[in-house]
């Protein structure tokens, strides 16, 4: 080419995309001119979809006298494409929800969640971590993103956990997705009795309890809506019955202290919940036949006949009397001498009778 010859420059390639991506500047030149290949448009120029190298030539043309374009020179250009971290990890769903039974064994896999990253090499290598509420109950495998149970669940304490799974590529791009773990109820609680034993006293011959006598157990499963069923497990009589549905204790035939050796009806009542299989718990029930309220103390070992010498002195013990009280502890019984208190005295708590000061024992 002559110093002052005019020519045009253009990109030439069998790969049509090269013409879309690259441009040469200037397009018209005279003589020696620095030529720049510039990127025009990078749409589709993606290492991750396999475009790792682009080849083309920069050609110089002159116009002939006839007006035809004549290639006079060309130079090959090879462009190697380098990968860039231009993709974030992507989860296939915007959020995930998993249902698990509350009795799921520790170590169980709850979820299998993957994020994909279209970059190559480390830029496309994803590692996972778990955040959010419930992080103390679950863990994730940093390599495969699976979520595992690490600690016991309890539907009665917490019904769901809202986690967040983070996927991070080797170039530091991060995506997160919400993972909701919803627990399902399992019948894992037996009914709980409101009292650890039940006790009532009824009068001899009674045919009903006044007021009503009811046993009650509650169950925390099924959001507290379990139906409880009551059954007598063992009983020392057939005088009492328990309503299956309400737990009310009823008298079937008049009570008598002679029915049982201790004057007391004794049962063990079992409460069942409505689970499959049902769970149960037992409670002892005592019904004493006697007089509810206050009964007289009763002296034991009566009559007390004692002989003492007339020479007995003040404070000498004569005898110890003892009374028991059907209603309460015997230590609550107090003693007093009703008559004959001139010569004798009694200890009001111990029942010990002794010679009184200034007693005249001379017969």
Say if CB 335 and CB 347 are below 8 A apart: yes
Minimum gap (Å) between residue 282 Cβ and Ca ion: 15
Sheet containing strand 248-251, strands side by side:
213-214, 248-251, 240-242
Touching Ca ion, residues 180-209 (CB under 5 A): 185, 187-189
What DSSP designation does 92 have?
S
Contact flag: residue 273 with Ca ion (CB under 5 A): yes
CA distance 125 to 119: 8
Place of tokens 């002939």: 64
Choice from 91, 119, 230, 318 touching Ca ion (CB under 5 A): 119
Q: Is the peptide bond before 277 cis (omega within 30 degrees of 0)?
A: yes
Minimum gap (Å) between residue 223 Cβ and Ca ion: 9
Minimum gap (Å) between residue 170 Cβ and Ca ion: 7
Minimum gap (Å) between residue 276 Cβ and Ca ion: 11
Residue 326 is encoded by which pair of tokens? 């059907």
CA dist 358 to 150, 156, 313, Å? 86, 76, 9
- Binding string to Ca ion for residues 67 to 96, with x set by CB under 5 A, is what? ------------------x-x---------
Minimum gap (Å) between residue 86 Cβ and Ca ion: 7
Minimum gap (Å) between residue 93 Cβ and Ca ion: 19
Contact flag: residue 156 with Ca ion (CB under 5 A): yes
Contact flag: residue 22 with Ca ion (CB under 5 A): no
Judged by CB under 5 A, how many residues of this single chain contact Ca ion? 16
Beta bridge partners of 21: none
CA distance 277 to 363: 83
Contact flag: residue 345 with Ca ion (CB under 5 A): no
Place of tokens 């009763």: 298
Choice from 29, 113, 183, 221 touching Ca ion (CB under 5 A): 221
Interacting residues with Ca ion (CB under 5 A): 85, 87, 117, 119, 123, 154-156, 169, 185, 187-189, 219, 221, 273
């Amino acid at each position: 080419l002559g110093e002052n010859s005019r020519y045009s420059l253009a990109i030439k390639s069998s790969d049509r995309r090269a013409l879309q991506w690259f441009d040469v500047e200037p397009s018209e030149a005279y003589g020696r001119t620095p030529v720049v290949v510039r990127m025009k448009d990078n749409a589709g120029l993606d290492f991750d979809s396999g475009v790792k190298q682009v080849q083309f030539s920069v050609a110089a043309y002159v116009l002939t006298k006839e007006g035809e374009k004549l290639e006079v020179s060309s130079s090959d250009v090879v462009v190697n494409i380098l990968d860039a971290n231009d993709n974030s990890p992507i989860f296939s769903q915007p959020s995930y929800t998993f249902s698990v039974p509350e009795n799921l064994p520790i170590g169980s896999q709850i979820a299998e969640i993957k994020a994909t990253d279209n970059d190559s090499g480390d830029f496309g290598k994803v590692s996972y971590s778990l955040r959010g509420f419930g992080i103390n109950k679950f863990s994730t495998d940093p390599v495969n993103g699976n979520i595992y149970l690490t600690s016991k669940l309890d539907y009665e304490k917490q019904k769901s956990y809202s986690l967040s799974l983070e996927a991070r590529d080797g170039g530091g791009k991060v995506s997160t997705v919400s993972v909701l773990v919803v627990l399902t109820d399992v019948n894992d609680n037996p009914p709980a009795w409101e009292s650890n034993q039940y006790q009532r006293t009824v009068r001899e011959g009674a045919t009903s309890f006044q007021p009503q006598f009811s046993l009650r157990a509650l169950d925390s499963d099924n959001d507290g809506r379990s139906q409880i069923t009551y059954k007598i497990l063992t009983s020392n009589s057939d005088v009492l019955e328990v309503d299956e549905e309400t737990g009310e204790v009823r008298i079937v035939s008049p009570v008598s202290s002679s029915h049982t050796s201790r004057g007391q009806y004794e049962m063990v009542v079992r409460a069942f919940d409505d689970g499959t299989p049902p769970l149960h718990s037992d409670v002892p029930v005592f019904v004493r036949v006697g007089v509810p309220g206050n009964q007289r103390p009763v002296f034991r070992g009566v009559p007390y006949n004692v002989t003492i010498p007339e020479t007995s002195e003040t404070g000498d013990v004569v005898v110890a009397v003892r009374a028991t009280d059907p209603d309460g502890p015997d230590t609550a019984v107090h003693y007093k001498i009703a008559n004959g208190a001139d010569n004798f005295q009694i200890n009001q708590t111990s029942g010990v009778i002794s010679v009184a000061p200034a007693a005249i024992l001379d017969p």
